[in-house]
């Protein structure tokens, strides 16, 4: 297994000093902002403050004005509107936003429909559209987080007499669907300032425009404005879960959305937070979403029906919300068991063929693997082997697959280059889904591996740990670390800052902690400054460190609160020990 290569970002001390002085921020914060491409004092202040008024006007979003006009007319005419969403967190949250918006705006007849992941697969499908037109009596279909590549299905909708409005954020294919309206931040010919919204972000912008239309045309009426403020929480959940860059509008959505969820959660989110052990926390982080709230919403779409999650997020009945939240929590536990089993199977399959070797990719499939969990497994394999990974659920008539990439490698383009014979595929640089018949699997696996071997650079094959700055432990005062936290929320595009420090000495015996005895507490000293450290999942590597050992550390600074005390703590990411045999790396799992 490859070791991390520490990669220190370049620093210009004069530039750091200037930005810090002009923006009124500590030099270390200025360095981090420069590393994120923020090199102007006004932009630095905007980045830190993430003000709601900096959200772009929804009318700038390509297609949103026409889509809103069509929906408003349909509401006024009493036509039935069906919100057709995807089954992941992004689709569920976006569907909940639009459905709730229309109900508050006075729509007398509106429903939502989310396809079954296993039985129907991703996106629009002809059978579902026929069901919408006949059984549900739909007249207008509004997609959420899907549809931008549904060229054939758009023709089916037209044949059925359905008015089709597509809202999506995924990569646009060579041909656009012939829908009545297309809403997409990167639509050809558009000039929207920020192209990285998630599906729920696009849905929110459409809801915002609809609310304006039911107001005075420029502002929403008070009750609809209150709804939009509350809906920021769902946009935040989706933005974090869909792993879009936390830049520009997305930072604003997540900053204010998470604050809103913590301070005043809806009935459904209160129930979800309770089963996720997030209720009552002083702070709700992106980690709380990524590891607590989002997996439980996703579990509904993976193992059951995602429509259950939409019901939880839109109900005003606390008892019903609690009941659904308990079901989702049980689903998530079952999902974890299935995931662990498939990951173990996949690792055995890799060992049976001699491990990674010279492979450019990991492509595995099995008839017994659950289609609802393969995306998570692909992500785990990409972490383990540091190669683009595709996992397939092989069925007699149809194989469904999901892929995850590694930093810097465009997975969507790699699949597109090998797409001959596929029934369909979609996604973006970091994640994608695909479908094929069983007889195509071996050929695709070989082509994809060959393509990745030829496309991956030597640099991409090495795990890297980006270091924002080298620091002395004495620089990390409580005030400075609190200032670093101004840069939250963290996530894709704005990772938690990582620092390094050398000539650090281990003080005393490391202490193994945790229910599974897998973490290590350390005391670290440098030139008279001593700080506490915690190394998550590194007991097997650091527990036997001797007192007095000299090392270099890579870490995340944080503030530990206990019994009313606040103190700086270092979360260890990597340790380099000096020895007569050379440098040794101990990496966090």
CA neighbor of 28 nearest in space, from 471, 533, 540, 583: 471
* Domain CATH for 542: 2.40.50.460
State the Cα–Cα distance between residues 381 and 184, nearest whole angstrom: 31
On whether residue 501 sits in a domain, the answer given is yes
Same domain, 389 and 425: yes
Tell me if the bond preceding 66 is cis, omega within 30° of 0: no
The secondary element (H helix, E strand) that includes residue 557 is strand 550-562
On whether residue 312 sits in a domain, the answer given is no
Highest mean pLDDT (candidates 215-224, 270-279, 508-517):
270-279
* Stretch 311-329: mean pLDDT: 96
- Average pLDDT score over the chain: 92
Same domain, 74 and 206: yes
User: Which parts of 353-409 fold into alpha helices (H)?
Assistant: 374-385
Q: Are 577 and 551 in contact (CB under 8 A)?
A: yes
Residue 173's pLDDT is what? Answer: 86
Say if residue 542's pLDDT is above 80: yes
State the Cα–Cα distance between residues 256 and 236, nearest whole angstrom: 8
- The DSSP-derived string for 459-478 is TTTS-EEEE-EE--GGG--H
CA distances from 379 to 126, 288, 391, 424 (A): 30, 19, 9, 21
424-427/431-436 β-pairing: antiparallel
* Stretch 266-289: mean pLDDT: 91
Between residues 305 and 130, the one the model is more confident about = 130
Same domain, 91 and 207: yes
Q: Which of 455, 477, 509 is the last residue of a domain?
A: 455
Say if residue 175's pLDDT is above 80: yes
Same domain, 410 and 474: no
Same domain, 449 and 385: yes
Same domain, 125 and 159: yes
φ/ψ of residue 191, rounded to 5: -130, 30
CA neighbor of 373 nearest in space, from 313, 423, 332: 332
pLDDT tens digits along 394-407:
988 889 999 999 98
pLDDT band (50, 70, 90) for residue 250: very high
On whether residue 243 sits in a domain, the answer given is no
Of 41-50, 69-78, 120-129, 265-274, minimum mean pLDDT range = 120-129
Number of domains in the chain: 3
Same domain, 63 and 180: yes
Same domain, 424 and 476: no
pLDDT band (50, 70, 90) for residue 165: very high
On whether residue 183 sits in a domain, the answer given is yes
Residue 2's pLDDT is what? Answer: 29
Residue 301's pLDDT is what? Answer: 76
Residue 218's pLDDT is what? Answer: 78
Say if residue 582's pLDDT is above 80: no
β partners of residue 499? 469, 555
* Domain CATH for 421: 3.10.310.30
Same domain, 449 and 534: no
- CA angle, corner 90, sides to 89 and 95, nearest 5? 100
State the Cα–Cα distance between residues 170 and 107, nearest whole angstrom: 28
Q: Which of 182, 203, 219 is the last residue of a domain?
A: 219
pLDDT band (50, 70, 90) for residue 554: very high
pLDDT band (50, 70, 90) for residue 579: low
On whether residue 16 sits in a domain, the answer given is no
For residue 82, give its domain range: 54-219
* Stretch 89-117: mean pLDDT: 93
pLDDT band (50, 70, 90) for residue 171: confident
State the Cα–Cα distance between residues 365 and 337, nearest whole angstrom: 18
| pTM for this prediction | 0.87
81-85/110-113 β-pairing: parallel
* Domain CATH for 149: 3.90.1640.30
Residue 303's pLDDT is what? Answer: 67
Same domain, 438 and 361: yes
On whether residue 189 sits in a domain, the answer given is yes
Residue 424's pLDDT is what? Answer: 87
State the Cα–Cα distance between residues 556 and 319, nearest whole angstrom: 41
Residue 429's pLDDT is what? Answer: 86
pLDDT tens digits along 470-516:
999 999 999 999 999 999 999 988 999 999 999 999 999 999 998 88
**DSSP structural state of residue 546:** P
Same domain, 538 and 438: no
Say if residue 586's pLDDT is above 70: no
On whether residue 187 sits in a domain, the answer given is yes
Between residues 371 and 310, the one the model is more confident about = 310
Same domain, 552 and 481: yes
- The DSSP-derived string for 23-80 is HT--HHHHHHHHHTT--SHHHHHHHHH--GGGSPPGGGSTTHHHHHHHHHHHHHHT--
Say if residue 121's pLDDT is above 80: no
pLDDT tens digits along 421-454:
999 888 888 889 999 999 999 999 999 999 999 9
Residue 282's pLDDT is what? Answer: 82
On whether residue 327 sits in a domain, the answer given is no
Q: Which of 407, 435, 455 is the last residue of a domain?
A: 455
């Amino acid at each position: 297994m490859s070791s991390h290569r520490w990669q220190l970002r370049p620093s210009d001390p004069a530039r750091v000093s200037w930005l810090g002085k002009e923006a009124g921020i500590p030099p270390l914060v200025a360095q981090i902002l420069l590393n994120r491409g923020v090199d102007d004092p006004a932009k630095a202040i905007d980045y830190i403050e993430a003000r709601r008024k900096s959200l772009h006007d929804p009318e700038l979003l390509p297609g949103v004005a026409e889509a809103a006009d069509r929906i408003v007319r349909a509401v006024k005419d009493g036509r039935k509107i069906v919100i057709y969403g995807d089954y992941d967190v992004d689709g569920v949250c976006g569907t909940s936003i639009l459905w709730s918006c229309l109900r508050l705006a006075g729509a007398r007849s509106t429903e939502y429909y989310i396809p079954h992941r296993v039985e129907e697969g991703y996106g629009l499908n002809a059978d579902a559209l026929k069901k919408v037109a006949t059984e549900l009596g739909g007249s207008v279909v509004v997609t959420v987080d899907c549809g931008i590549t549904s060229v054939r299905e758009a023709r089916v909708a037209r044949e059925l007499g359905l008015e089709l409005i597509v809202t999506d954020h995924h990569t646009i294919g060579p041909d656009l669907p012939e829908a009545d309206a297309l809403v997409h931040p990167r639509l050809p010919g558009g000039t929207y300032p920020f192209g990285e919204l998630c599906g729920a972000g696009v849905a929110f912008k459409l809801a915002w425009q609809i609310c304006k239309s039911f107001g005075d045309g420029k502002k929403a009426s008070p009750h609809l404005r209150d709804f939009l403020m509350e809906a920021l929480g769902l946009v935040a959940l989706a933005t974090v879960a869909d792993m879009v860059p936390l830049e520009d509008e997305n930072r604003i959505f997540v900053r204010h959305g998470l604050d809103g969820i913590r301070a005043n959660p809806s009935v459904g989110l209160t129930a979800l937070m309770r089963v996720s052990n997030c209720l009552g926390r002083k702070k709700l982080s992106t980690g709380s979403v990524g590891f607590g709230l989002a997996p439980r919403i996703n579990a509904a779409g993976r193992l059951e029906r995602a429509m259950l999650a939409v019901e939880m997020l839109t109900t005003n009945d606390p008892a019903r919300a609690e009941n659904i939240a308990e079901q989702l929590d049980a689903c998530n536990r079952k999902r974890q068991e299935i995931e662990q089993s498939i990951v173990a199977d996949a690792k055995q399959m890799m060992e049976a063929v001699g491990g990674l070797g010279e492979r450019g990719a990991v492509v595995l499939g099995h008839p017994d693997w659950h289609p609802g969990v393969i995306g998570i497994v692909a992500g785990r394999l990409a972490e383990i082997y540091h190669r683009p990974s595709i996992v397939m659920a092989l069925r007699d008539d149809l194989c469904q697959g999901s892929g995850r990439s590694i930093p810097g490698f465009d997975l969507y383009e790699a699949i597109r280059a090998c797409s001959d014979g596929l029934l369909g595929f979609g996604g973006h640089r970091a994640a994608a889904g695909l479908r094929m018949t069983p007889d195509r699997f071996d050929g695709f696996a070989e082509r994809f591996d060959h393509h990745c071997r030829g496309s991956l650079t030597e640099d991409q094959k090495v795990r890297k740990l980006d270091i924002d700055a080298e620091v002395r432990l004495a620089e990390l005062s409580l005030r400075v670390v609190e200032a670093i936290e101004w840069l939250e929320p963290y996530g894709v595009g704005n990772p938690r800052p990582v620092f390094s420090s050398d000539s650090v000495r281990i003080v005393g015996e490391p202490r193994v902690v945790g229910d599974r005895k897998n973490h290590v507490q350390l005391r670290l000293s440098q030139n008279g400054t001593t700080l506490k450290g915690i190394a998550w999942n590194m007991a097997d590597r650091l527990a036997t460190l001797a007192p007095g050992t000299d090392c270099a550390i890579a870490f995340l600074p944080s503030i530990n609160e206990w019994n009313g005390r606040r103190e700086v703590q270092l979360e260890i990411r990597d340790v380099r020990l000096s020895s007569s045999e050379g440098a040794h790396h101990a990496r966090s799992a």
